[in-house]
């Protein structure tokens, strides 16, 4: 009579669960990016004003809280699209500002978009193929993002252009690290909820894109 190896069975189940989370995460991420692009385009066409820092933060953290609270239900998907759609609406006015302010504004947007895409694909592929565990980045990323966020607020309130530049550079590095960390977490079973994995990767892509756009505007913008 054939005996089933329990270790082999657990390993096989773990691999299948990991692959399922990966498939669901990238499928949902693709849909949310498309939806965010749609709302950003709509915001640009309608020339909607930027909602402002306070409303943006309230909307972002409020919707993020709802996503986290309902991450294990269908409502989690609803709030995920609400969050990414809202972020797209806030992005539209930013893109319009760059396009109208810089003579090469559209080129800057395309370059930032291309750089974001290549960075995300390259880092994701590296984490998936090497299967290296980037869990050690958790503490550094948490502290770094908090410091960068507070520094960003200080740069806005006190109109410190030099600090704003440094914050954008910090976010490029931090978001690259977050992509590696989150992908590694999925691969190694540390993240089993594809909704939360999707939101983390989306936020990484969003912040990476806006940070690159800011840097390109400073160093390559033509007034």
8 Cβ contact partners less than 8 Å away, ≥ 6 residues apart: none
In this structure, is residue 7 part of a structural domain?
no
199, with CB counted inside 10 A (0-12, 13-18, 19+), is buried
The residue-averaged pLDDT of 143-155 equals 96
Our count of domains for the chain comes to 1
Residue 14 pLDDT grade (very low, low, confident, very high; cuts 50, 70, 90): low
Q: What is the pLDDT of residue 54?
A: 94
Buried b (16+ CB within 10 A) or exposed e, 124-153: bebbeeeeeebeebeeebeebbeebbebbe
The reply to whether 29 falls in a domain is: yes
pLDDT at 193 over 90: yes
Query: Does residue 5 fall inside a structural domain?
Result: no
**Dihedral angle sign, alpha carbons of residues 121, 13, 32, 166:** negative
1 belongs to a structural domain: no
Please report whether residue 3 resides in a domain: no
Full residue range of the structural domain in which residue 26 is found: 12-220
Bigger pLDDT: 11 vs 97: 97
% of the chain surpassing 70 pLDDT: 93
Measured between alpha carbons, how far is 141 from 120 in angstroms, rounded to an integer? Answer: 17
Pairs from 189-195 (Cβ < 8 Å, separation ≥ 24):
189/14, 189/17, 189/18, 190/135, 191/21, 192/17, 192/21, 193/21, 193/71, 193/72, 194/21, 194/24, 194/25, 194/28, 195/28, 195/67, 195/71, 195/76, 195/77, 195/80
Residue 123 inside a domain? The answer is yes
Residue 1 is predicted with a pLDDT of 43
Contact 35, 85 (CB under 8 A): yes
Mind listing the pLDDT tens digit for each residue in 55-85?
999 999 999 999 999 999 999 999 999 999 9
Q: Is residue 2 one of the residues assigned to a domain?
A: no
Mean local confidence (pLDDT), 30-39? 98
Does any domain span residue 63? yes
Note the maximum CA span of the chain.
79
What's the pLDDT at 222? 74
């Amino acid at each position: 009579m054939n005996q089933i190896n329990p270790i082999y069975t657990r390993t096989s189940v773990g691999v299948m669960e990991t692959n399922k989370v990966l498939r669901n995460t990238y499928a949902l991420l693709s849909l949310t990016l498309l939806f965010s692009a749609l709302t950003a385009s709509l915001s640009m066409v309608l020339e909607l004003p930027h909602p402002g820092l306070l409303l943006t933060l309230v909307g972002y953290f409020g919707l993020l809280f709802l996503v986290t609270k309902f991450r294990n239900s269908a409502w989690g998907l609803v709030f995920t699209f609400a969050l990414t759609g809202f972020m797209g609406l806030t992005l539209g006015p930013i893109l319009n500002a760059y396009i109208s302010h810089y003579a090469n504004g559209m080129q800057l947007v395309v370059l930032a978009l291309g750089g974001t895409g290549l960075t995300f694909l390259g880092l994701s592929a590296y984490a998936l193929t090497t299967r290296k565990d980037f869990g050690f980045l958790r503490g550094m990323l948490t502290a770094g993002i908090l410091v960068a966020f507070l520094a960003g607020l200080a740069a806005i309130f006190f109109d410190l252009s030099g600090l704003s530049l440094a914050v954008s550079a910090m976010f490029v590095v931090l978001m690259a690290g977050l992509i590696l960390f989150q992908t590694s977490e999925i691969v190694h079973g540390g993240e089993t909820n594809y909704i939360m994995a999707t939101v983390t990767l989306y936020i990484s892509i969003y912040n990476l894109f806006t940070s690159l756009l800011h840097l390109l505007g400073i160093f390559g913008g033509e007034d």
